[in-house]
Amino acid sequence: MGYRIVVVGATGNVGREMLNILAERQFPVDEIVALASRKSMGSEVSFGDKTLKTKDLDTFDFTGWDMALFAVGSDATKIYAPKAAAAGCVVIDNSSLYRYDPDVPLIVPEVNADAIMGYSKKNIIANPNCSTAQMVVALKPLHDRARIKRVVVSTYQSVSGAGKEGIDELWDQTKSIYNPVDDKPARKFTKQIAFNVIPHIDVFMEDGSTKEEWKMVAETKKIVDPSIKVTATCVRVPVFVGHSEAVNIEFEDHLDEDEAREILREAPGIMVIDKREDGGYVSPVECVGDYATFISRIRQDSTIDNGLNLWCVSDNLRKGAALNAVQIAETLGTRALKKG
């Protein structure tokens, strides 16, 4: 006996990826429904070798369904997630709406799977921000060994993190650079994204940081350890899919780079590719479509006591969003719902 699964926002980048990954990982599905807004109702999406026609989110009854994977913005989630949860359907939410709610577990299964049982307070589980998810997969096994004091991270985030509009803007602007009569001004982003980098993701906050940078700080503390100090600079780069991060870590205890490399090789969800030669590392274009978080460039930081540097790359539509949501569903099924 399998699960009755709902995918909300099934026509978007993340929603489509959720359907792909549920099929790829052979999640035990008895019945699945794809929901979208009324304007997208009737659109077709793929689930393995099947084609699903999307149904109207506004009129859908969640009663009798086991899990709903939400891939819509916070505004829509605010309306429909409580309805699903009240109907007995466990919500796995990809928006930022519930991440900082103390009664909602924020889960990366490789890191804090035990916390998933807290779902019963509100029948909701939150999926972290894409840039946080890949970083904490790398931090947790190192933290268990040597206790992390401080993390300094600079991100290089792809345009797919801003949705289809972000992808289209990079594509259109790139073409327009070579066509002087076809000007494509910035709309989704605050400056030209083609052949440029933009040190600004999400809104600015009073202290000068952006909301994206604040998310990385708050979520790392909630998922891994509230005592870890985190400072982040988040940058949008002209890459279609795949987020990269340069991570500097300061530990309480000494951790040799060779031991760190071995710890990460053994850690779940991580692939270490770290050769000190041309091309002996992973770039974002190489991680697209893969489940793993790739770690390269592991090396000692001699400027501080107990410091390490590393390079972290992952497909943000997968580990940063859809894959993590499906892994949460798998963990919830195994530990709590126990069907399939």
Supply the residues annotated as catalytic: 130, 243
User: What phi, psi does 276 have (nearest 5°)?
Assistant: -90, 70
Closest CA to 34 of 23, 45, 20: 45
Q: Which two tokens stand for residue 36?
A: 């979208």
Contact call for residues 319 and 269 (beta carbons, < 8 A): yes
Parallel, antiparallel, or unpaired for β 307-314 and 293-301?
A: antiparallel
Separation between Cα atoms, residue 82 and residue 84, nearest integer Å: 5
Separation between Cα atoms, residue 96 and residue 126, nearest integer Å: 8
Q: Which two tokens stand for residue 313?
A: 């790359």
> What burial letters (b/e) apply to 264-295, b meaning 16+ CB within 10 Å?
beebebbbbbbeeeeeebbebeebbebbbbbb
Binding residues for NADP(+): 11-14, 39-40, 160-161, 180, 316
Closest CA to 99 of 219, 278, 200: 219
Binding residues: 11-14, 39-40, 99, 157, 160-161, 180, 236, 316
Length in residues, the chain? 340
Binding residues for substrate: 157, 236
Separation between Cα atoms, residue 289 and residue 318, nearest integer Å: 7
Separation between Cα atoms, residue 189 and residue 166, nearest integer Å: 7
